[in-house]
Amino acid sequence: MNDNPLIALAGYFALLSLFAVGGANAAIPEMHRIAVEVMHWMSDRQFADSFAISQVSPGPNIIIVTLIGYHVAGLAGAAVATAAMCGPTCVLAFLVARTWDRFKEARWRIAIQAGLVPVSLGLIAASAFVLARSADHNIYAAAITAITAIVGFATRINPLWIFAVGGLLGLSGWV
């Protein structure tokens, strides 16, 4: 990739947007790989912090790319990263929306959708793994993750309450 961080942001995120089946949650490992391992834009902790901020912010979770972009290259970086992550897929959505009625019952369309579900499940599981490795650096953080997983699976509680409790436990020095 080019040395200019804006070009690198645009290239990586535009490419990623087309492979992110399952949305923002499925794209986390690749974002982590690029931003932390390959480009060294940010530390593991800064990536985890960005994820936390994107979770408590209103709006779509994909907004984590705005945070990464800002971290790399300020306001221009935030704009470029966001546009690159949303642009290609928006154009695709617009084009497909006009022809959707023609192929929504097609066998290949149903096969593609059914085939991509397990891929996105594996990717989201990988996201959880990558984040757990960043976040659960002691027994208390791991306990919060484990308890939240059970509560999230068994109930339909508003995630903001869970984030609030997690933040308070962090503040109190348990994490």
Residues 13-72 that bind other proteins (CB under 8 A): 15-21, 23-25, 27, 29-30, 33, 37, 45-46, 48-63, 66-67, 70-71
3-state secondary structure the chain: CCCCHHHHHHHHHHHHHHHCCCCHHHHHHHHHHHHHHHCCCCCHHHHHHHHHHHHHCCCCHHHHHHHHHHHHHHHHHHHHHHHHHHHHHHHHHHHHHHHHHHHCCCHHHHHHHHHHHHHHHHHHHHHHHHHHHHHCCCHHHHHHHHHHHHHHHHCCCCHHHHHHHHHHHHHCCCC
CB 99 to other proteins: min, Å: 10
CB 113 to other proteins: min, Å: 5
Which of 98, 102, 105, 139 touches other proteins by CB under 8 A?
Answer: 98
Residues 122-161 that bind other proteins (CB under 8 A): 122-132, 134-136, 141-142, 144-153, 159
Does the footprint of other proteins cover residue 116 (CB under 8 A)?
yes
Which of 1, 7, 100, 106 touches other proteins by CB under 8 A?
Answer: 100
